[in-house]
Amino acid sequence: MDPAQIKQVILNLCQNAMEAMGEGGNLTVETTFLPTRGEVCLEIKDTGCGIPQERIKSIGVPFYTTKAEGTGLGLSICFSIVDKHKGKIEVQSQEGQGTTFSVILPIER
Ligand SMILES: Nc1ncnc2c1ncn2[C@@H]1O[C@H](COP(=O)(O)OP(=O)(O)OP(=O)(O)O)[C@@H](O)[C@H]1O
Ligand SMILES: [Mg+2]
Number of domains forming the structure of the chain:
1
Identify the helix (H) or strand (E) that includes residue 11: helix 3-19
**Which ligand is nearest to the Cα of residue 52, counting in written order?**
1
Domain CATH code at residue 22: 3.30.565.10
Domain of 53, in residue numbers: 3-106
Ligand 1, residues 43, 73, 75: which to mutate, most atoms within 8 A of Cβ?
75
Q: Are the CB atoms for 28 and 43 separated by under 8 Å?
A: yes
Q: Are the CB atoms for 61 and 76 separated by under 8 Å?
A: yes
pLDDT tens for each residue of 7-43? 999 999 999 999 999 999 999 999 999 999 999 999 9
Reduce the DSSP state of residue 74 to 3 states and report it: helix
Identify the helix (H) or strand (E) that includes residue 7: helix 3-19
DSSP assignment, residue 53?
G
pLDDT tens for each residue of 59-106? 999 999 999 999 999 999 999 999 999 999 999 999 999 999 999 999
- State the distance from the centre of ligand 1 to the C-alpha of 61, rounded, in angstroms: 10
What CA–CA distance (Å, rounded) separates 10 from 30? 11
